[in-house]
């Protein structure tokens, strides 16, 4: 009865911080494709928010790979997690790896070429998601952006609606010059044809053969900061704080508890200079709380200052609450004076 297992296709989803990888991933997971997909999410930082922003679809499994970058510091975790998935009786039909925004996809791909995995996995595609509006600026500053595009065989130029046709052409020309053989798709809000991203066969670009050395550990190049609290935020103060974050912070995101909407989780994000806030699922059985993660260049921001800024955004006790406290104080005064 035992037949030799066919290799499981894997897609590596790459793209710089804020490009829209999680949005593309959510589109894939909610589309009608009938596949059981396992997703490995590598969020860079102590709290794994990306994994929580990935929609929970019953048939699919989402595994967090936190506490480091899968292309360098936690490559071992990527290897062992993948092996565990493959050894299960209910193996997934497809694996998607969402690499951290600062990782090198070639190093991630090389992990799947190690002897332990080589015959079990087939690399279907490396998909790079690009922020159409910010790419011109990012490519000057951040070496990873160009490297991620250079490794990909499919490029999704996301947020295409934010730039005019002439700018669109410039971005596409620039990408074509880097990877002439890649397929380039444009997208708004991460909407892409599913068939192009899943089950398309074999990664074609002969890049991996030339690369045997792994990238240096670049975790040190980036600084993360996080904030947790059980107290509610004031929505307007929080939005203001997100908009005021220094330019050296490339990405900030959080699941937060708002005084104005205490019954539902709010998702707050900053990509580039754009802050957004939307209401999500009800808290349900989970006690309301807030988690925020920020990523920027190493030594480019002051953690203590950020903590103070976000502390200042916590909602003040409501009027009624203040009155209640006053009543207790008055009662005490009265009682103690007797």
Residues that bind Zn ion (CB under 5 A): 69, 71-72, 103
**Closest CB 248 distance from Zn ion, rounded Å:** 20
- Give dist(CA 175, CA 172) in Å, integer: 5
**Closest CB 106 distance from Zn ion, rounded Å:** 11
Residue 199 and residue 167 in contact, taking contact as beta carbons nearer than 8 Å? no
Which residue, 39 or 71, has its beta carbon nearer to Zn ion? 71
- Give dist(CA 308, CA 77) in Å, integer: 35
Which residue, 52 or 103, has its beta carbon nearer to Zn ion? 103
**Closest CB 255 distance from Zn ion, rounded Å:** 25
* 3 state SS of 124: strand
Please identify the residue of the shown chain whose CB is closest to the bound Zn ion.
69
The pair of structure tokens assigned to 281 is 């699922």
Which residue, 112 or 227, has its beta carbon nearer to Zn ion? 112
**Closest CB 62 distance from Zn ion, rounded Å:** 21
150, 155, 280, 272: which is closest to 211 by C-alpha? Answer: 150
Which residue, 174 or 214, has its beta carbon nearer to Zn ion? 214
Q: Which residues, listed in sequence order, are joined to residue 38 by a DSSP beta bridge?
A: 61, 95
- Give dist(CA 279, CA 24) in Å, integer: 19
Bridge-based pairing state of the strands 290-297 and 222-229 = antiparallel
**Closest CB 141 distance from Zn ion, rounded Å:** 18
Which residue, 36 or 297, has its beta carbon nearer to Zn ion? 297
Which residue, 114 or 279, has its beta carbon nearer to Zn ion? 114
DSSP 194-224: HHHHSS------TTGGG--SPPP--GGGEEE
**Closest CB 71 distance from Zn ion, rounded Å:** 3
């Amino acid at each position: 009865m035992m037949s030799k297992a066919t290799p499981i296709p894997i897609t590596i989803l790459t793209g710089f911080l804020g490009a829209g990888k999680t949005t593309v991933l959510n589109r894939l997971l909610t589309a009608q494709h009938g596949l059981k997909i396992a997703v490995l999410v590598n969020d860079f930082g102590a709290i794994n928010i990306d994994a929580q922003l990935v929609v929970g679809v019953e048939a699919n499994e989402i595994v967090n790979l936190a506490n480091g970058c899968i292309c360098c510091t936690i490559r071992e975790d990527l290897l062992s997690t993948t092996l565990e998935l493959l050894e299960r009786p209910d193996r997934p039909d497809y694996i998607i790896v969402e690499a951290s925004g600062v990782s090198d996809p070639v190093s991630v791909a090389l992990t799947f070429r190690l002897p332990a995995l080589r015959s079990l996995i087939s690399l279907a595609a490396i998909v790079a998601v690009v922020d159409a509006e910010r790419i011109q600026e990012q490519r000057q500053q951040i070496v990873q952006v160009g490297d991620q595009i250079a490794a990909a065989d499919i490029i999704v130029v996301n947020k295409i609606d934010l730039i005019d046709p002439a700018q669109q052409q410039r971005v596409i020309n620039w990408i074509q010059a880097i990877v002439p053989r890649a397929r380039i798709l444009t997208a708004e809000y991460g909407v892409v044809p599913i068939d192009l991203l899943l089950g398309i066969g074999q990664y074609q670009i002969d890049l991996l053969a030339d690369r045997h050395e792994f990238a240096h550990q670049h975790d040190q190049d980036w600084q993360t900061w996080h904030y947790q609290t059980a107290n509610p935020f004031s929505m307007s103060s929080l939005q203001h704080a997100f908009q005021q974050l220094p330019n050296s912070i490339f990405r900030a995101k959080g699941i937060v508890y708002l005084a104005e909407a205490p019954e539902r989780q709010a998702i707050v994000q900053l990509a580039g200079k754009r802050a957004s806030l939307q209401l999500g699922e009800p808290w349900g059985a989970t006690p309301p709380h807030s988690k925020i993660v920020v990523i920027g260049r190493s030594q480019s921001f002051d953690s203590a200052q950020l903590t103070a800024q976000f502390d200042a955004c916590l909602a003040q006790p409501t009027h009624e609450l203040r009155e209640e406290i006053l009543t207790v104080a008055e009662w005490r005064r009265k009682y103690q004076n007797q």
